A and B are shown apart, each in its own frame.
Chain A
Amino acid sequence: MFRNITIGQYIPGDSVVHKLDPRIKIIITFIFIVAIFFINKLSGYIFAVLYLYLVIAISKTPFSYILKGLRPVIIILLLTVSLNMFFTPGGTVLYTLGPLKVTTSGLRLAVFMGLRLIFLIIGTSLLTLTTSPISLTDGIEHILKPFSRIGVPAHELAMMMTIALRFIPTLIEETEKIMKAQMARGADFESGNIVKRAKGLVPLLVPLFISAFRRADELAVAMESRCYRGGQNRTRMKQLKIQPRDYEALAVTLIMVLLIVWNRVWTW
């Protein structure tokens, strides 16, 4: 029942996209997001679509996984689209429904916001689908490192993320186990009204919290007994190194950006 969460779910693979340096991948994703918000004509999205298609094709990511990533944000998407559609003033009125008016500029904005959100989610889920959580946090740590001079705890943040990610599957497994154990004692998690269901969660949540705290304690002891004391002077086994393929990926991304800029500035 918990197995259909895709945001942040990595599919192992060994395509070029999978092998890219996580720092470059994060930067590329960032550039991509800025670019899709820079587009101001529908024709500009052709380049974004082509670019995404290229990434999906090279990484061989099953399209169904990408669609699954879109499912949880459908409500936000619908909300954004309808807010923009009904509450943007200006332009000619196309349709009136009581106090709500659909104008040309509203429709235009709605379409753009919708497309932007969809591309944003596809782009970021491609990042998480092709990058293992560990290398992702590694990349984030490196990118944040320059900011540690101004007090950003880059290493600590990355360590917290790594631990959190590491324990998601463990906690899911634990939840399933405790649920089953309580179901074997006749607990019912599925029927009844909200109050009854919320009460029914107590036998699940209490043991889950206890075991989470126990695990946290054990982990802290294990880390301290191996002399962990934060990020200072820590070396790593796997050093991140920029490869030629990283420059190539960056180049392809820049071409896409240039095409989008060209589309915005010189065509109409």
Chain B
Amino acid sequence: MPIKVENLSFVYNEGTPYATVALNNVTFEIQDEEFVGIIGHTGSGKSTLIQHLNGLLKPTSGKIYINGVDITDKKVSLKDIRKEVGLVFQYPEYQLFEETIFKDIAFGPTNLGLSEEEIEKRVYEAMDIVGISRELADKSPFEVSGGQKRRIAIAGILAMKPRILILDEPTAGLDPKGREEILNKIKEIHDKYKMITILVSHSMEDIARFADKIIVMNKGRIEIIGTPREVFREAEKLEKMGLGVPQITSLARELQKKGVTIPEDILTIEEAKEYIIRYLRGTKNV
């Protein structure tokens, strides 16, 4: 289900004194199975952009094609789009409302009009994926911990079996352990189900680790787009936007300046370790 966005612009409160341009001529493409990171500051237009991808917002101008279908067309059923494009909002635990965890996760599939057996199958499957024990199914979603609530909310989207999964700051407000768990889960889901995954974040570290492609947004425009290595090579530009590169990348750049033979587009600690060890051995041998 490739995504293609063409010249997308969006203006909030159009025609009032409060009009603000949230998106300005945004164009990009996402291929099947890609893991895409969208990064940018608060107010850079990331959240506005992803809300266009499942028809929650209608563009002021521009086109959005999902699997070749223009979803800005009035004839396209929004229900069909939302079935395919699952969107997990920021702090999704605030949308929980049912008496039991089971019922809450079943809300999405029920709205899709599935049979009861199918709903039950999907709910338990989703609970397994996010790592919520099946014994909790009849508990109230308000009784469990914050991290669990968030996973329940994500399960609510997964149970709809979307072919495109979008997550808006899924780690916001979680402790380091919770962040790690959620991110690894997302990666696991992506690898297992091969769905397009779009992860919105303002943490370079989170995005650098998993993304095949990074979209850097600034003031409603796409500033840089490319593979993590391509993006992090533009460190100065990123710093100007106040985003910076992952700490390990910036360490590698500093080392390179000091004469260490290490590429400047290092992404992970493992990679850096390899190069540094190789360099240290190299100098020792001399």
How many residue pairs link A and B with beta carbons under 8 A? The number is 57
Q: Is B79 an interface residue (CB 8 A)?
A: yes
Known: A11-B17, A187-B107. A180 touches B97 (CB 8 A): no
Stretch from A44-52, A117-125, A202-210 at the B interface: A202-210
Q: Is B46 an interface residue (CB 8 A)?
A: no
Contacts of A181 in B (CB 8 A): 89, 92, 94-95
Stretch from B33-41, B80-88, B174-182, B213-221 at the A interface: B80-88
Known: A177-B89, A188-B111, A203-B107. A183 touches B97 (CB 8 A): no
Contacts of B83 in A (CB 8 A): 186
CA distance A181 to B93 in the complex (A): 10
Interface residues on A, range: 10 to 19
Are B112 and A183 in contact, CB atoms less than 8 angstroms apart?
A: no
Q: Is B51 an interface residue (CB 8 A)?
A: yes
Are B96 and A185 in contact, CB atoms less than 8 angstroms apart?
A: no
Are B87 and A184 in contact, CB atoms less than 8 angstroms apart?
A: yes
Known: A11-B17, A180-B51. A186 touches B111 (CB 8 A): yes
Contacts of A211 in B (CB 8 A): 94
B41 nearest CB across to chain A (Å): 19
Q: Is B59 an interface residue (CB 8 A)?
A: no
Q: Is B13 an interface residue (CB 8 A)?
A: yes
Residue with the greatest number of chain A CB neighbours at <10 A, chosen from B107, B111, B142: B111
Q: Is A3 an interface residue (CB 8 A)?
A: yes
In the assembled complex, 15 residue pairs joining A and B whose CB atoms fall closer than 8 Å, in A order, are A3-B16, A181-B94, A182-B95, A183-B56, A185-B95, A185-B108, A186-B82, A186-B111, A186-B112, A186-B160, A187-B107, A187-B111, A188-B79, A203-B97, A207-B94
Interface set of B (CB-CB < 8 Å, partner A): 13, 16-17, 51, 54, 56, 79, 82-83, 86-87, 89, 92, 94-97, 107-108, 111-112, 142, 156-157, 160
Interface set of A (CB-CB < 8 Å, partner B): 3, 11, 177-178, 180-188, 202-203, 206-207, 210-211
